[in-house]
Amino acid sequence: MSGERLGTVLSVRTGRVRTQARPEWDERRARPWHTGYWKDEREGPVRIGALGLEGDEQADRRFHGGAEMAVLMYAARHYASWRALPGLEAMGPGGFGENLVLDGADETQVCAGDVLEAGEVRLQISSPRGPCADISRRWNAPWLLPRVLETRRTGWYLRVIEEGVVERGDVVSLVERPHAGWTIDRLLRIRHAVPRDATAMREASALTALAPAWREKFGELASAR
């Protein structure tokens, strides 16, 4: 398992909070939209600390950022499929607010708890990305959020185990897998399954490396009637 190659870093991206106009269909369009969704390409080494990439910001820290969502990674192989849809012709690295673009594995191949090395940093997959309406706002496409949930091409969050620098072209290696079989895709299927699979949810709630918020949610859903 040690050193298994998952791919390479295709892009490293950060963004500052900015104010954007909301699309006409947005029910909150009368309010300013403060967002860090737009991420720009970074050249050369970029430092990743405990709370994420140097120079990166999140507008609403209640739902974004923090130790369990320090870094957002997205699979490069998805962009071509998104670009085939109307209005998404410009989709590419940064299009989903991601910090690191992985040219290699995707949600069907990486698991909660996977420990990854890239450059000097060691990261651990903490959870699937729980997409929000900002994805639709960014692309002025109200249908996009449901499509992301349907396809489960969400990306995933990572916590930082060892700080350091990363840059485009770094190899991403899998060095530990404590929850084999618990892929990001599987967790998303369980989370949104109808009817609910209470047994699978209870099992997911016991995954020690899964982010606490996800473990708690799976536990609540497993017990709900």
Query: pLDDT tens for residues 166-181?
Result: 999 999 999 999 999 9
CA 87 to centroid of chain Cα atoms: 22
Domains of the chain listed by start with CATH number: 4-179 (2.40.33.20)
The C-alpha atoms of residue 119 and residue 163 are separated, in whole angstroms, by 10
Q: What is the pLDDT of residues 13-28, one digit of tens each?
A: 999 999 998 999 998 8
**What predicted TM-score, i.e. pTM, was given to this entire model?**
0.96
| Element of type H or E holding 191 | helix 184-192
SS3 91: coil
99-128 confidence digits (pLDDT tens):
999 999 999 999 999 999 999 999 999 999
Question: Burial level of 99, CB count in 10 A (0-12/13-18/19+)?
Answer: buried
pLDDT at 66: 93
Residues ≥6 apart with Cβ < 8 Å to 150: none
Cα torsion angle, 96, 102, 108, 112, sign: negative
Q: For residue range 38-93, what is the model confidence (pLDDT) as tens digits? A: 999 999 999 999 999 999 998 877 777 899 999 999 999 999 999 999 999 999 99
